Amino acid sequence: MPLPEFGGTLGLKRAAHLLRRATFGATKQQIDSFALLTPTQATTQLFGQALPAPVLPIDPKTGQEWVISGITDANSEDLGSLLLRWFVGQMMNPSLAYSAREKIVLFLHTHFTMIMEKVNNTRALYFQNELFRQFALDGNVADIDINFKKLTVKVSVDNAMLQLLDGALNVKGSFNENYARELLELYTIGRGLDANPPTTSGEIGDYGVYRESDVQTAARILTGWDYDDEFSNIDPDTNLPRGIVKGSPTNASAHDNDTTQPKQFSDRFTSTLFPGNTIVPDPLLMPGGNPTEESALDEIAKLIDLIYEQPETARNICRKIYRFYLWAPHTQQEALVVEGIIDQMVDLFVSPANNFKIQPVIENLLRSQHFYEAAGGVTDDSFGGLIKSPIDLVVGTLRFFNVQLPDMMTQTEQYYEATGQILDHIVNQGMNFYNPYDVAGYEAYHQYPVYHRYWITTNSLSRRYDFIRTLIDPQGMMAFNVNTYEYVRDNFAAVAADSEALLIALATYLLPHHDALTFDDTADDTSSLTAPRLTYFKNRFLTDVSMNPEAYWTDTWNQGTDIGELREWLNRLFGSLLQSPEYQLS
C-alpha cells in the first residue's frame, strides 16, 4: 500500500515546504503558483515533464567542452574545480522541474558516494553524474527495467566507481574486497536499522543481514574489471562509457571462473531466483568455457538480483530516501515509529508495477499526508524538521531572491566566477562537495543518531551568517548582490509600507513555521513563533528609529526618496530573518 495522500490544495505553507524539500528552493512567485495546486498536480509539474539534457561544461580556456571530446594540453589545469562549479550551476537552473531532477541527482550522489580527489578525472566524474541523471526520473521511463536496481548494476562497472574503490585491483587469485564491501554495507543491503541493530549469531564477521563470507563471494563475482581512461567502451543502454574487462571482451582473463569453488552466499540470504544462494555463470555466454565481458556482466546482474531479493535492501534504500527528503529519527523510539512509514514505502518500491523505481516512491512521499502532517508520536518530523544542508541554504537563498547566473556560453568566465563563489560558500559551511571525508559519504546523510545536525557547528554557523551578510551587503565582494529595497519593492509592494505586515509576509515565505503570527503577546497561543520573537525581528528592523518607528517607516517608504536608508533598514530585517535559527531549518 502506498502512503495515504494529502487531499486539497497545498496553500502557502505546504507549497513552500514541498519546494524546499523536492527542489533547491523557489521564488515567491513559484511558491504562490504551487499554493494553488493539489499535491498530485504539484508533483506532476515537478517530475512529469520532459527535460533537456544539460549544456556540456565549457572550458573557458578553449571555449569548448572537454568531457566528451577529451582533454588536451590546451585545456585549463583546474578542470576539477570547473566541473564542480558546473554541477552547482545545474542546481541554480530556475526551472523547478529541472531543480527537482537535480535534487534526485544529488541524492544519488550522497548514496553512491564519490571522492574527486581519489578519482582525479573530471571526465569519469561527469559521466557518473550523467548516469545518475539518466536514472533520476526512472518513473517517466516505460521500460520496467530502468530502475534503481539496474542503476546499481551500472554503478558497479562505472569508471569513477572502479577508480574510487579499487575495482581494477580485484582480479582472480588476488581479490580486492573494497567495492564488494561497500556495495553491501552502503549501497544496497546495509547493516539494518542503526537504532535497532539486527540480531547476530555472535560469530566474528556476522553482520546480522550478511556475513563476511558474502563480501568475499561478491568480490569474486566482481573480479576482472579495469578502469578505462580512454572512455571508449560504451554501455549500449546508457550510451555512456563504462569500465572494460581485463584481457578482451571474448576472454575476460582476470575474472574468477573457478567452478571448484561455487559462488555461494551464506544463510543470511534467501533466494528463489538462485537455488542454494549460488550464482552460476551462464555457459551460453562463454564460448569455449572462458568468461567473457558479457558473462561477467551477467554475473554482476545476478549478484544485484540476489541482493535486491533480500528485504533489508529495499528498507535500507527507502530509509535513505526518507531521511533525505523528510526527516531523520534520532532515537530508537522515533526510528521504530518511522519504520511503519518505511514499510509502506517499501511496498511501493518493490511492487511489480514499480519494480524498484525510486521516482514513484519519492513522489508518493512528497504527496503523502505524513509529509505534511507528521507521524503520531513524533513532533518535529515535517515542517522545519531538517537542518538545511549548505547546498540547500546557499542555493535555496539565491533561488528565493531569483539570482540569475551569467550565461555559460556567452559569459563563461563570469559564470565560473559566480558558481565558484557559490561552491566556496558551500565548502566553507562544512560540505566539502564531491570530497567527503570517506567512502561512507557526508555524515549528515548516514551517521546515526546525529544525521543532519552535523551541519551545525560553531564554525559552520558563523559561515552561514557570513554568507547572508555578504549577500545583502552593498559593498559585498560576491559576483551577485541582493538589493533588498528593490526586492521588497518588486515582490511585496502591497504590504511594504506596514512594517509589521511586511515582516509577517516575509516570514511566511522564509521560515518553515509561520502559523497565526501576531505581535500580541496575549494572543499568540496558536502562533508557531512567539510574539516576543516576532517583536525581536521588528526591533532589529527598526532599531535606529527612536520615536514611533512604525509610522516613521510608513512615511519613509511612501515618500520613497531615501532609498539608501530604506535599504539599510531592510538589510537589518533580512539579516535578522536569514541569520536566525529558524531559517536554518527546512
Q: Cα(563)–Cα(569) distance, rounded to whole angstroms? A: 10
Give residue 380's pLDDT band: very low, low, confident or very high (50, 70, 90).
low
Grid coordinates given for 253: 582473463
Q: What are phi and psi of 394, to 5 degrees?
A: -70, -55
Q: Cα(424)–Cα(119) distance, rounded to whole angstroms? A: 21
CA distances from 545 to 498, 553, 561, 577 (A): 15, 9, 17, 19
**Helix/strand/coil for 263:** strand
User: What's 431-489 look like in SS3?
Assistant: CCCCCCCCCCCCHHHCCCCCHHHHHCCHHHHHHHHHHHHHHHCCCCCCCCCCCHHHHHH
Contacts of 528 (CB under 8 A, 6+ apart): 513, 514, 515, 516, 517
pLDDT of residue 1: 78
pLDDT of residue 399: 98
Taking residues 204-215, report their average pLDDT: 97
Residue listed under C-alpha cell 503570527: 517
Average pLDDT score, the chain: 95
Residue 456 CA neighbour count, 13 Å, CB half? 16
Closest CA to 512 of 326, 321, 324, 322: 326
Q: Cα(318)–Cα(357) distance, rounded to whole angstroms? A: 11
pLDDT of residue 561: 86
Closest CA to 572 of 505, 485, 480, 495: 485
Give residue 368's pLDDT band: very low, low, confident or very high (50, 70, 90).
very high
pLDDT of residue 512: 93
pLDDT of residue 560: 87
Taking residues 3-7, report their average pLDDT: 93
Contact 430/54 with Cβ under 8 angstroms? no
CA distances from 142 to 138, 351, 469, 537 (A): 8, 15, 48, 51
Taking residues 158-165, report their average pLDDT: 98
Give residue 275's pLDDT band: very low, low, confident or very high (50, 70, 90).
very high
Give residue 342's pLDDT band: very low, low, confident or very high (50, 70, 90).
very high
Q: Cα(193)–Cα(319) distance, rounded to whole angstroms? A: 9
pLDDT of residue 475: 84
Contacts of 225 (CB under 8 A, 6+ apart): 157, 162, 167, 168, 170, 243, 244, 245, 246, 296
Give residue 546's pLDDT band: very low, low, confident or very high (50, 70, 90).
low
pLDDT of residue 523: 84
Give residue 416's pLDDT band: very low, low, confident or very high (50, 70, 90).
very high
Taking residues 255-270, report their average pLDDT: 95
Which region among 178-192, 419-433, 452-466, 511-525 has the lowest average model confidence (pLDDT)?
Answer: 511-525
Grid coordinates given for 477: 565582494
Grid coordinates given for 29: 512567485
377 pLDDT more than 70: no
Residue listed under C-alpha cell 572494460: 244
Contact 109/129 with Cβ under 8 angstroms? yes
pLDDT of residue 381: 59
Share of the chain above pLDDT 90, in %: 91
pTM of the model: 0.97
Q: Cα(366)–Cα(321) distance, rounded to whole angstroms? A: 11
Give residue 515's pLDDT band: very low, low, confident or very high (50, 70, 90).
confident
pLDDT of residue 522: 86
Contacts of 7 (CB under 8 A, 6+ apart): 38
Q: Cα(531)–Cα(528) distance, rounded to whole angstroms? A: 9
List, as one string, the DSSP characters of 368-412.
Answer: BHHHHH--TT-SSSSTT-SBPPHHHHHHHHHHHTT--PPPTTTSH
Model confidence over 216-249: pLDDT tens digits? Answer: 999 999 999 999 999 999 999 999 999 999 999 9
| Structure letter (DSSP) for residue 208 | S
Which region among 79-83, 199-203, 292-296, 320-324 has the lowest average model confidence (pLDDT)?
Answer: 199-203
379 pLDDT more than 70: no
| Structure letter (DSSP) for residue 192 | B
Which region among 17-31, 119-133, 536-550 has the lowest average model confidence (pLDDT)?
Answer: 536-550
Q: Cα(355)–Cα(466) distance, rounded to whole angstroms? A: 46
Q: Cα(96)–Cα(110) distance, rounded to whole angstroms? A: 21
Give residue 478's pLDDT band: very low, low, confident or very high (50, 70, 90).
confident
Q: Cα(447)–Cα(513) distance, rounded to whole angstroms? A: 27
| Structure letter (DSSP) for residue 55 | P
Contact 310/209 with Cβ under 8 angstroms? yes
Q: Where are the domains of the chain?
A: 95-309, 483-586
Contact 44/546 with Cβ under 8 angstroms? no
2 pLDDT more than 60: yes
pLDDT of residue 384: 86
| Structure letter (DSSP) for residue 14 | H
Taking residues 543-572, report their average pLDDT: 90
Model confidence over 131-148: pLDDT tens digits? Answer: 999 999 999 999 999 999
pLDDT of residue 545: 66
Contact 79/66 with Cβ under 8 angstroms? yes
Taking residues 151-156, report their average pLDDT: 98
Residue listed under C-alpha cell 533489508: 312
375 pLDDT more than 70: no
Residue listed under C-alpha cell 554501455: 235
Residue listed under C-alpha cell 561497500: 182
Cis peptide before 449 (omega within 30 of 0): yes
Taking residues 166-187, report their average pLDDT: 97
Closest CA to 333 of 368, 387, 386, 375: 375
Share of the chain above pLDDT 70, in %: 98
Which region among 460-469, 490-499, 506-515, 520-529 has the lowest average model confidence (pLDDT)?
Answer: 520-529
Contacts of 214 (CB under 8 A, 6+ apart): 184, 265, 266, 268, 269
pLDDT of residue 488: 98
378 pLDDT more than 60: no
Contacts of 211 (CB under 8 A, 6+ apart): 205, 266, 268
List, as one string, the DSSP characters of 71-115.
Answer: --TTS-S-HHHHHHHHHHHHHT-S-HHHHHHHHHHHHHHHHS---
Q: Give residue 450's identity as a one-letter amino acid code.
A: V
Query: 548: left (phi > 0), else alpha (psi -120 to 50), else beta?
Result: left
Q: Cα(401)–Cα(27) distance, rounded to whole angstroms? A: 6
